[in-house]
Amino acid sequence: MNYIKEINAFYDWLETNSLSSSAIVLWHALMAINNKCGWITEFAVATSVLETKTGLTRRTIERARNELKQKGRINWKSRKGNQSAVYTIIPFVRNNDAQPVAQPVAQSVAQSVAQPVAINKLNINKTKQKICSSTTDEMTNFNIDEHFKELAKLYEQCIGTPNGLTADWIESILEMYGFEWCKNAMLEAEKRGYRTKKYVEGILQNWKRDGGIKLKKDNNNSNKDSNKTFQTRFHNFEQRTSKYTAEELEKKAREKFERKLEEMNNRR
């Protein structure tokens, strides 16, 4: 999937199709997540992750994803228990199309010429997909961020055998909470005897709410990390300015993006 072409096609599509601002924000969040996962057909993402990425409430996200499904932009399905929903983005331009679908004759000619290129692109996409479905040992064969690799190994130690959705989950919590938080949350879950992704997410959410890491005390543990500050994508900005906190910068960025979406809707 070509990220830029899909975004351009999406906004062309919006010129003749109405979509709420919430649905637009959610579509962008799902595109960003799948881009990091290597454009796999199906990917799982927790609603809590989408809440953080979009600034929307759980109920608004549920309405927005139903709207996107009704408009033919995504498919999604819920799963039993505490498992995250699985999403599929419906592309505007197919991977192997040399021309848009609306030009079948030109496409036939172009495909016969561009077949070697299309096969090469398909092989690249398959390689990317293997990253998201491989085990921890296989992950080390790819040029993946060192923090990601360490968390993948820790996942196998503290939670269990990775599956096709593990890479997406690790990527999401790593972006949301940072390496130190994720590492300590996995270790804390194992220490408490709850070896599940849901429990790790609960620990991270509690730390975010309480303003820092709070580890279970034992004889061999110090609480020197108990006052660590939650890191947003703007946490490094605090050393450059004292006007706003990292959380305020995050909020202002989201408000600015939503204003742009509203202006775009008003122009339609």
Across the chain, the runs of DSSP E, i.e. the strands, are 43-45, 74-77, 85-89
Element (H, E) at 67: helix 58-70
Task: Determine what percent of the chain is predicted with pLDDT higher than 70.
Answer: 61
Per-residue pLDDT at 4 = 86
3 state SS for the chain: CCHHHHHHHHHHHHCCCCCCHHHHHHHHHHHHHHHHCCCCCCEEECHHHHHHHHCCCHHHHHHHHHHHHHCCCEEEECCCCCCCEEEEECCCCCCCCCCCCCCHHHHHHHHHHHHHHHHHHHHHHHHHHHHHHCCHHHHCCCCCCHHHHHHHHHHHHHCCCCCCCHHHHHHHHHHHHCHHHHHHHHHHHHHHCCCCHHHHHHHHHHHHHHCCCCCCCCCCCCCCCCCCCCCCCCHHHHHCCCCCCHHHHHHHHHHHHHHHHHHHHHHC
> Could you report the per-residue pLDDT of 186-225, keeping only the tens digit for each?
999 999 998 899 999 999 999 888 888 877 665 454 444 4
Q: pTM value?
A: 0.40
Distance CA 247, CA 266 (A): 29
Indicate the pairing of strand 74-77 with strand 43-45.
unpaired
> Could you report the per-residue pLDDT of 230-257, keeping only the tens digit for each?
444 444 444 343 445 555 555 666 666 6
Least confident of 45-54, 181-190, 252-261: 252-261
Terminal Cα distance for the chain, rounded: 27
With tokens 């799902």, the residue in question is 30
Least confident of 140-149, 170-179, 212-221, 228-237: 228-237
What the block records as the tokens of 81 is 């228990």
> Could you report the per-residue pLDDT of 63-115, keeping only the tens digit for each?
999 999 999 999 999 998 888 899 999 999 875 443 444 444 445 544 554 55
Task: Determine what percent of the chain is predicted with pLDDT higher than 90.
Answer: 28
> 82 — phi, psi (to 5°)?
-95, 15
Distance CA 149, CA 82 (A): 25
Residue 17 has pLDDT above 70, yes or no: yes
Least confident of 13-27, 47-61, 151-165: 151-165
